[in-house]
Structure 1
Amino acid sequence: MKTPQPTTTLEDQPMPVRAKLAAAWTSFMFLYAYVDILNFFTPGVVEDILDGRVFEFALSQTFSTTALILMAVPIFMVLLSMTLPAGVNRIANLIVASLYVPVTVFNVVGASWLYFYGLGIVLEVILLALILRYAWTWPRTAPSATMATSPDPETVRAQQQA
């Protein structure tokens, strides 16, 4: 007779806010890049690029530099979300995600494939909303009792020298 195996439950470990933010920025960048790549399959896009135009903009060093900056900021947010101190991290994520909502929505202007761009923008805005939520609700810790009652290092040094 076979002994029944005990059932186990998978452990659901809490995910640090920094990891959530980095994952959301990474997902945002994959989606942002993939929508741009798939856009090349929209009729007329490649021809316009070969003619030196993207949407209403002339292809130039200024255009390319601006596009690079627009892509580099969220890319660096992946790194910064994992490395900045909590307070600065929270503020940076709130500011950058807030600024990228209108930048993302602007991409639908002049789009000929509204279902495609609409879906891409909705998904990107959902990710930005998650980033804003994670940053806004960043967990806080109360100062410990020992920190509140312990003298600062300067006071301890002064007392030791006296």
Structure 2
Amino acid sequence: MNTNTKNNFEDSKINIKIKLSLLWTAVTLIYLYGDYFELYIPQKTQGLVTGENLLNSPMNLFIAALVLAIPAMMVFLSILLNPKISRFLNIIFGLFFTTIMLLIAFTSIDEPWRAFYVFYAFLESVITALIVWNAFKWPKQKKINH
């Protein structure tokens, strides 16, 4: 009996489109967790009620909605779009969100109540950097010689 094969589990290759979609799903969920946990910061909900927050105008709220819709849309666009467009959008939006999340992390780092937010921002930036990396490394179609 060959004991070398007994503990070798099959590791199926994941299609790049599915991999990118899963990474965007993780980013979307982490955004949601971060925004949810932020509600536990003292005086945060009071600012929501009084309008003393970053989303204090219809335009700011719309811009935030637009920006945060991108990761959710990329979950399915990464699968549905043709590879060239999908690769391009994953690189562009991945770089955009990596930059934004690093800026948020570094500007929040000295606020004790936002340590969780810094953690999530760094985690999101790692995931969006992985999106960019995977999109850059998108496998080429193998040529078939006749």
TM-score by length of 2: 0.86
Amino acid at match of 2:140: R
Q: Tell me, in whole angstroms, the C-alpha distance in 1 between the residues paired with 2:66 and 2:102.
A: 17
Amino acid at match of 2:103: F
Q: Is the contact between residue 108 and residue 114 of structure 2 (CA under 8 Å) also seen in structure 1? A: no
Larger radius of gyration: 1
Shift of 1:102: 2.2
The structure 1 residue matched to 2:84, chosen from 83, 87, 92, is 87
- 1:141 and 2:141 aligned: yes
- 1:73 and 2:74 aligned: no
Change (3 A) 1:76 1:58: closer
Any idea what the Cα deviations from partners look like across 1:100-119, whole Å, max 9, x if unmatched? 12222333435733422221
In structure 2, stretches of 5+ residues that fail to align are none
Structure 1, 107-116 or 23-32: larger mean CA deviation? 107-116
State the match for 2:12 in structure 1: 13
Q: Tell me, in whole angstroms, the C-alpha distance in 2 between the residues paired with 1:19 and 1:77.
A: 11
Amino acid at match of 2:8: T
TM-score by length of 1: 0.78
Change (3 A) 1:16 1:58: closer
Q: Tell me, in whole angstroms, the C-alpha distance in 1 between the residues paired with 2:30 and 2:46.
A: 24
3-state SS of 1:145 partner: coil
In structure 1, stretches of 5+ residues that fail to align are 1-5, 147-162
Over the aligned positions, Cα root-mean-square deviation in angstroms equals 1.9
Q: Tell me, in whole angstroms, the C-alpha distance in 1 between the residues paired with 2:74 and 2:143.
A: 28
Q: Tell me, in whole angstroms, the C-alpha distance in 1 between the residues paired with 2:61 and 2:35.
A: 14
- 1:35 and 2:34 aligned: yes
State the match for 1:62 in structure 2: 59
Shift of 1:95: 0.5
Change (3 A) 1:14 1:142: closer
3-state SS of 2:102 partner: helix
Q: Tell me, in whole angstroms, the C-alpha distance in 2 between the residues paired with 1:130 and 1:39.
A: 25
Change (3 A) 1:58 1:106: same
Any idea what the Cα deviations from partners look like across 1:137-160, whole Å, max 9, x if unmatched? 1111343334xxxxxxxxxxxxxx
Amino acid at match of 1:80: L
Q: Tell me, in whole angstroms, the C-alpha distance in 2 between the residues paired with 1:30 and 1:68.
A: 15
State the match for 1:158 in structure 2: none
